[in-house]
Amino acid sequence: MSNSSDQLEEIKALISSGSKCFAYSTLLHFQEQSSGDPTSIQALAGISQTLLSLIVADISGDDEEIIQTPPSFRGVICNLPYQNSGLNHHFLFVGFVVDDANLVMESLVRLITTTKMKSVCNLGVWCISIQQFNAPFLDSHYNSLMQAVVHALDNPIGSLSTTFEAIQALIKLASNLSKRMRDLSHLWAPPIYRRLLSFDTKERDMSERCLLKIKSIILPPTLVLSKVLVKDMKQILLTKMKELLNEGMKVQAIHAWGWFIRLLGSYAMKNRQITNEMLKIPENTFSDLNPQVQIASQFAWEGLIDALIHPPIVACDTNASKEEKRVQRLQNSRETGDKIQANGFLKSIRHVMTPLTGIISSKCDISVHSSCLNTWCYLLHKLDTSVIDPSVIKLVLEPICEAIFRIGPESKSVSSWNLCLDLLDDFILAKCKDVEYVTSNSASHHLSATKFLWKQYSVKWLPWDICQLDFHLNIIFILISQASIATVNHEYKSFACDAALRLFLSVLKGVRLELEKPSTNYNDIMLCLGTELRFIKKICEDVNSEGSDSSDLHHTCLRFIDAVTKELQPATLESPLYKVSLDLKYIDKLQSVNNIRHAKFMDICSIVHMNMVSPMVYLLVAYFCVVFQSTMKTSKTELILQGIHKYFKFLFSSYDPLETLLAMISLLYNYVSPHCLNIWIAIAKGLTDCIDDVKELSLLRMESNSTGFLAICSLLLYPFSVCSCPQKNSASLVSGFSQQPHVSPQRKLDFEYVFEVWKTLYSSLKTSQNVYCSATNSFLEDLYSMLNGCLDEHARMLDGANDLYLSYKDLDLDLLSLYGNVVICILEENCTSEVGSDKSRH
């Protein structure tokens, strides 16, 4: 302790005697050596007040060689407490009274503003940048500090190092006095943002680094700062930006423009003249062919988003129940929509979206596309909860998604596809999540899982309203339509179909939630069902349209219908309350080319175009329409037939089996053709599996001559009707759709297999009838009678046969073979039954 005190006394004597440079150099060395020694630090604290008075006196003198040393020491000594971990920080400056601190601060300010030496000015500003004074003390000297820092920023000496030290001091003050700094940002920000247009790279870079560090303080800008910027823009900034453009420095010019438009903020809407002049800069750079310039333009465009996009937020009662919050969200959404329409918000969005839509629709570099999508994601983020407003969706979400999906999932655009798919799926699934209402001031919200490039933006997807159902389905239809383009390869077609189904399943979850809500009224239920069924109709008719490459789409259509049938509840789809018009064009064509002699002969009620039916029947008819066409067009017949089998097994077990069977029989008998036997086989197998699995099937609880009884008999008679059918009907139907059945030699119908399926179904039905129905004998007798009637009808046709009938003589042989096998089966069944009865009697 005594040794340290002695050294410090010697240093004090040297300062007083005039050997100042050596004294201050020795003092700095002493400080560095004692930074880890508590004894030395305590000795230094004891003499600090005396030393400071000497330092202040030297700062106020005229010897600038001497002046250069004290600030260096002053800066280091101010930093001493943070290098010492052994003592409490306040011990060091126990003798550093307020008057001394004030004197030091005043001396530094005077030094910075009066010196003509670059190094002295730099050291003075550097002291400010590393000072450790508390916020109240700095606040008391704020005006003088700002005077010194702004003086250094204005850089009368013309040194980059001075500018650098001044920026560091500014950042330090911003961290201590953020509110004061924001309030007076119009004083210190202009010297920084003006340097963004410097031809010197280092000067531009240090200015931008400063703005990035203090971005949270100056943005959004104060009105006074925006007004100062407008004045600067008129006087020098616009001219200098144009100079940079003329010099080929477009990236630098648009980069500065991005900061200027941010600092202009919402004041841009009140100064349209200067804003329009500013917008001429990005008009020049967006059209540049250089990808780097285009990417820089999009990054700067985020500045315009910051300036213009300030969505209206409506608060919600956080103490309300979930149902009350849902109602509040709906009301708030409408209020927000009214505000959006009223305050010109949509006009701002439209302006922001114009170049983005153009870039996405153009054939530019993939990096430019990626950058554009990144800017678009930033816009979605900034829109906050307004992102789900229908008007905003129309302007922001719809055009980009449509443009990307219409490009097609090629190798270069797959990442863009995935981005849009993830965003849309997040949006759609928000309907099914227990999402609490949030405001822009809340930190909790539904976070989009999508990552794009190096950024991640949260998007506040709130539960959507049923009025937005059309938007989701339109986007899905665009995905499906990509798979119908002949030039798209198989891999990308599958990708598009899978993507469409993924989104559709998410939509169905939301629709189901809406339909099951007790508060959903009848009109809204019909709106949901009608919208879904129109979509199904659209894809079914599109897949059958001429010019579409539908080899993959038939299977996809069936998957969509299957999804609706399984995702929505039978209580809704087969309810008699919700009737819809059967407006499928295929049914109208089917009836126009077919007579329904067989249906009339079997006393089957026909499905009629434009009849009012349940949604389940509508879906079943749509399913059949695709199935009939798929067996003629696609090479995926085997896969489709497997799907039919599973689909009808589900229908028979989950829905009213009688309604399902009646609709199915009516459709089958409207189109009697050999290639439809494959469809019959799949249906028969589905019914057989259902009978075997569900022993309580209500369809089997029937009496003789009931509708269900006749339907079962009609199903069993279908193969016989096909073999006895005048083939002109199926031929005219095929020609009516300009297609020929797609049947390879490996798939030619095997009537032995038809009989095996018939026999299995017959046995399952007979077994179930024995268990559940007392009219078993009547069922068998009537079935046999109908078989005889069918055979008699065929015989009468042969009597008047012409060349067309005779050309199908192979079917006559098939019919006889089928009848023979059925007779043998029936006799064997009867013999087995009689033997069983005899044994039971004995």
Q: What is the pLDDT of residue 126?
A: 85
Q: Is 158 left (phi over 0), alpha (psi -120 to 50) or beta?
A: left
Q: What size, in residues, is the chain?
A: 842
73 vs 608 pLDDT, higher one: 608
Could you tell me how many helices (H) and strands (E) the chain has, helices first? 44, 2
Q: Containing H/E element for 209?
A: helix 201-213
**Contact assessment for residue 262 and residue 307, using Cβ atoms and an 8 Å cutoff:** yes
Domain range spanning residue 109? 98-218
Q: Is residue 149 part of a domain?
A: yes
| 84 — pLDDT class (breaks 50, 70, 90) | very low
| 344 — pLDDT class (breaks 50, 70, 90) | confident
Residues 44 and 68 in one domain: yes
Kindly state the DSSP code that residue 237 receives in the 8-state scheme.
I
Burial class of residue 600, CB neighbours in 10 A (0-12, 13-18, 19+): exposed
Q: Is residue 471 part of a domain?
A: yes
The least confident of 76-80, 351-355, 416-420, 764-768 is: 76-80
Q: Is residue 458 part of a domain?
A: no
Q: What is the pLDDT of residue 440?
A: 36
Cα–Cα distance for residue pair 345/285, rounded to 1 Å = 25
Residue type, 551: S
Residues 653 and 791 in one domain: yes
Q: 662-680 burial, b if ≥16 CB within 10 A, otherwise e? A: bbbbbbbbbbbbbbbbbbb
Tell me the two tokens of residue 462: 């709130």
**Contact assessment for residue 815 and residue 720, using Cβ atoms and an 8 Å cutoff:** yes
Residues 87 and 166 in one domain: no
pLDDT digits over 296-315, tens only?
A: 999 999 999 999 998 775 54
Q: What is the pLDDT of residue 90?
A: 34
Cα–Cα distance for residue pair 337/249, rounded to 1 Å = 42
Residues 210 and 242 in one domain: no
**Contact assessment for residue 195 and residue 163, using Cβ atoms and an 8 Å cutoff:** yes
Q: 57-96 burial, b if ≥16 CB within 10 A, otherwise e? A: ebbeeeeeebbbbbbbbbbbbbbbbeebeeeeeeebbeeb
Q: Is residue 324 part of a domain?
A: no
Phi/psi of residue 545, nearest 5 degrees: -75, 155
Tell me the two tokens of residue 124: 């003075």
The CB-side HSE value for 527 (13 A sphere, CA atoms) comes to 12
Phi/psi of residue 550, nearest 5 degrees: -105, 20
Task: Name residue 581's beta-bridge partners.
Answer: 612
Please give the torsion angle defined by the CA atoms of residues 418, 423, 425 and 426, in that order, rounded to the nearest 10 degrees. 140
60 vs 154 pLDDT, higher one: 154
Q: Is residue 377 part of a domain?
A: no
Asked if the model's pLDDT at residue 745 lies above 50, the reply is no
Cα–Cα distance for residue pair 425/410, rounded to 1 Å = 21
Residues 70 and 109 in one domain: no
**Contact assessment for residue 296 and residue 257, using Cβ atoms and an 8 Å cutoff:** no
Phi/psi of residue 612, nearest 5 degrees: -90, 120
Q: Is residue 391 part of a domain?
A: no
Q: What is the pLDDT of residue 342?
A: 53
Tell me the two tokens of residue 383: 């829109």
| 248 — pLDDT class (breaks 50, 70, 90) | very high
Residue type, 124: G
Asked if the model's pLDDT at residue 605 lies above 70, the reply is no
Number of domains in the chain: 4
Residue type, 130: I
Tell me the two tokens of residue 29: 């060395």
Residues 251 and 209 in one domain: no
Residue type, 44: L
Asked if the model's pLDDT at residue 794 lies above 80, the reply is no
Residues 759 and 741 in one domain: yes
Residues 558 and 655 in one domain: yes
Q: State the CB neighbour count (10 A cutoff) for residue 693.
A: 11
Q: What is the pLDDT of residue 58?
A: 64
| 700 — pLDDT class (breaks 50, 70, 90) | low
Tell me the two tokens of residue 489: 């390869």
**Contact assessment for residue 590 and residue 626, using Cβ atoms and an 8 Å cutoff:** no
Highest-confidence segment of 23-27, 111-115, 395-399: 395-399
**Contact assessment for residue 395 and residue 346, using Cβ atoms and an 8 Å cutoff:** yes
Q: Containing H/E element for 473?
A: helix 469-482
In sequence order, what are the residues at sequence separation of 6 or more whose Cβ sits closer than 8 angstroms to the Cβ of residue 110?
59, 60
> Mean pLDDT across the stretch 218-227?
94
Find, among 570, 676, 577, the residue nearest to 620 by Cα.
Answer: 570
Choosing from 198, 218, 238, the residue where a domain stops is 218
Residues 185 and 229 in one domain: no
Kindly state the DSSP code that residue 616 receives in the 8-state scheme.
H
Choosing from 175, 196, 218, the residue where a domain stops is 218
Find, among 399, 418, 395, the residue nearest to 361 by Cα.
Answer: 399
Q: Containing H/E element for 612?
A: strand 612-613
Find, among 268, 391, 306, the residue nearest to 340 by Cα.
Answer: 391
Check the CA dihedral 125-127-132-133 and report its sign.
negative
Asked if the model's pLDDT at residue 475 lies above 90, the reply is yes
The least confident of 164-168, 220-224, 583-587 is: 583-587
Residues 649 and 728 in one domain: yes
Cα–Cα distance for residue pair 798/792, rounded to 1 Å = 10
738: helix, coil or strand?
A: coil
Q: What is the pLDDT of residue 159?
A: 83
Q: What rounded mean pLDDT belongs to the chain?
A: 78
> Mean pLDDT across the stretch 484-512?
89
Kindly state the DSSP code that residue 693 receives in the 8-state scheme.
H
**Contact assessment for residue 678 and residue 638, using Cβ atoms and an 8 Å cutoff:** no
CATH number for 173: 1.25.10.10
**Contact assessment for residue 180 and residue 221, using Cβ atoms and an 8 Å cutoff:** no
Residue type, 808: Y
Find, among 481, 472, 642, 474, the residue nearest to 555 by Cα.
Answer: 642
Cα–Cα distance for residue pair 332/320, rounded to 1 Å = 14
In sequence order, what are the residues at sequence separation of 6 or more whose Cβ sits closer than 8 angstroms to the Cβ of residue 471?
390, 393, 394, 397, 398
Cα–Cα distance for residue pair 691/684, rounded to 1 Å = 11
Find, among 110, 81, 92, the residue nearest to 52 by Cα.
Answer: 92
Kindly state the DSSP code that residue 787 receives in the 8-state scheme.
H
Q: Containing H/E element for 333?
A: helix 322-342
**Cα Rg of the chain, angstroms:** 42
Choosing from 256, 281, 306, the residue where a domain stops is 281
E strand spans, 151-232: none
In the block, tokens 């039905």 appear at: 765
Kindly state the DSSP code that residue 397 receives in the 8-state scheme.
I
Percent of the chain with pLDDT over 90: 37
Burial class of residue 541, CB neighbours in 10 A (0-12, 13-18, 19+): middle
Cα–Cα distance for residue pair 561/555, rounded to 1 Å = 10
Asked if the model's pLDDT at residue 69 lies above 70, the reply is no
Residues 207 and 224 in one domain: no
Cα–Cα distance for residue pair 680/676, rounded to 1 Å = 6
Tell me the two tokens of residue 491: 């891999």
> Mean pLDDT across the stretch 562-589?
89
Cα–Cα distance for residue pair 588/609, rounded to 1 Å = 5
Find, among 608, 493, 604, 603, the residue nearest to 550 by Cα.
Answer: 493
Please give the torsion angle defined by the CA atoms of residues 281, 283, 288 and 291, in that order, rounded to the nearest 10 degrees. 90
Cα–Cα distance for residue pair 62/682, rounded to 1 Å = 105
Task: Name residue 613's beta-bridge partners.
Answer: 580
Q: What is the pLDDT of residue 625?
A: 85
Residues 553 and 685 in one domain: yes
Q: Is residue 392 part of a domain?
A: no
Q: What is the pLDDT of residue 271?
A: 87
Asked if the model's pLDDT at residue 502 lies above 90, the reply is yes
Highest-confidence segment of 151-155, 215-219, 599-603, 727-731: 215-219
Q: Is residue 381 part of a domain?
A: no
Cα–Cα distance for residue pair 206/230, rounded to 1 Å = 23
Query: Distances in Å between the alpha carbon of 176 and those of 102, 194, 515?
Result: 18, 24, 56
314 vs 421 pLDDT, higher one: 421
Cα–Cα distance for residue pair 417/408, rounded to 1 Å = 8
Query: Distances in Å between the alpha carbon of 118 and those of 152, 163, 674?
Result: 10, 11, 100
Cα–Cα distance for residue pair 783/830, rounded to 1 Å = 14
Instruction: Tell me the pairing of strands 580-581 and 612-613.
Output: antiparallel
Asked if the model's pLDDT at residue 459 lies above 70, the reply is yes
Find, among 308, 310, 288, the residue nearest to 297 by Cα.
Answer: 288
